[in-house]
Amino acid sequence: MSQRLQSIKDHLVESA
Amino acid sequence: MNSNRCQTNEVNKFISSTEKGPFTGRDNTLSFNKIGSRLNSPPILKDKIELKFLQHSEDLNQSRSYVNIRPRTLEDQSYKFEAPNLNDNETSWAKDFRYNFPKNVEPPIENQIANLNINNGLRTSQTDFPLGFYSQKNFNIASFPVVDHQIFKTTGLEHPINSHIDSLINAEFSELEASSLEEDVHTEEENSGTSLEDEETAMKGLASDIIEFCDNNSANKDVKERLNSSKFMGLMGSISDGSIVLKKDNGTERNLQKHVGFCFQNSGNWAGLEFHDVEDRIA
């Protein structure tokens, strides 16, 4: 579960 | 080579040819072809099986690398079998053959019937031949147990799969697979039991990071408002402030699969959509 959230966060950081 | 040509016995000729080594020389090939043509065998093919046979042919002379197989009937009824001659210089093949040959060999039933009708006068008592050989005059190769030289005990050649051994291997494999699956379940239970709190702590930290990141990086006010009103950001806020926690479902009659999901800390109800287990199988 936390891995999914981590991947969402990483994706947000990359997109910014 | 000359001694080969003087041999009248086909079996001895074949043995003396193999003792010289693999069929790579011209002389051996010639004599082998001659025997092959007499037995109406197909021409020699340089395929994989033959190459393996040639490769292992030297082992045939050094050790007992052949095995006896059960009697089989050959189509050539006219070819007369001749036993290896008794002498001191006989090959290991002949010695092993004589030693292992069964004392009382019963020919196939169809041959027994044929002998009753046709060769009744020719049959002699088997006790006259203590070494297990029939007399040459009324013996044909059709009822003789064939020693197959192409079945080796070496691991390099293909063996027919023994169904009994195969079933034993399958049973052992199933047992190992069952124990392996059991270990996986225990490991998963231990891991999920100890790490659920750690997982929840990590989730809280990540949710806070995401909220903070979105606050700081939203391009304009309108986008920021829409983002904050989304279900996702609402869930992140609830996780970060602890109103929604992780809960382990031990499975119900409806959902047999164990899973970890979000639930409201106060009421204990599941947050978001209800979990539905989907059976993992190919339709």
Please state the domain extents for chain B: 2-156, 195-264
Average pLDDT over residues B223-230: 86
Query: What is the pLDDT, as a whole number, of residue B249?
Result: 73
What's the CA gap between B22 and B55, in Å, rounded?
A: 7
Q: Which amino acid is at B272?
A: G
- Asked if B206 and A1 come within 8 Å (Cβ–Cβ), the reply is no
Q: Which of B42-51, B250-259, B271-280 has the lowest mean pLDDT?
A: B250-259
Q: Which of B2-16, B116-130, B173-187, B238-252 has the lowest mean pLDDT?
A: B116-130
For B61, the token pair is: 């002379």
Query: What is the pLDDT, as a whole number, of residue B216?
Result: 84
B261 pLDDT higher than 60 = yes
Query: What is the pLDDT, as a whole number, of residue B144?
Result: 56
B105, exposed or middle or buried, with CB in 10 Å at 0-12, 13-18, 19+?
Answer: middle
User: How many angstroms away from the CA of B224 is the closest CA of chain A?
Assistant: 14
Query: What is the pLDDT, as a whole number, of residue B206?
Result: 92
The reply to whether B260 touches chain A by the CB within 8 Å rule is: yes
- Asked if A1 and B203 come within 8 Å (Cβ–Cβ), the reply is yes
Contact between B242 and B250 under an 8 Å Cβ cutoff? The reply is no
The reply to whether B212 touches chain A by the CB within 8 Å rule is: no
Cα distance from N-terminal residue to C-terminal residue, chain A: 23
Q: Which residues of B touch A13 (CB under 8 A)?
A: 213
ipTM of the complex model: 0.84
The reply to whether A6 touches chain B by the CB within 8 Å rule is: yes
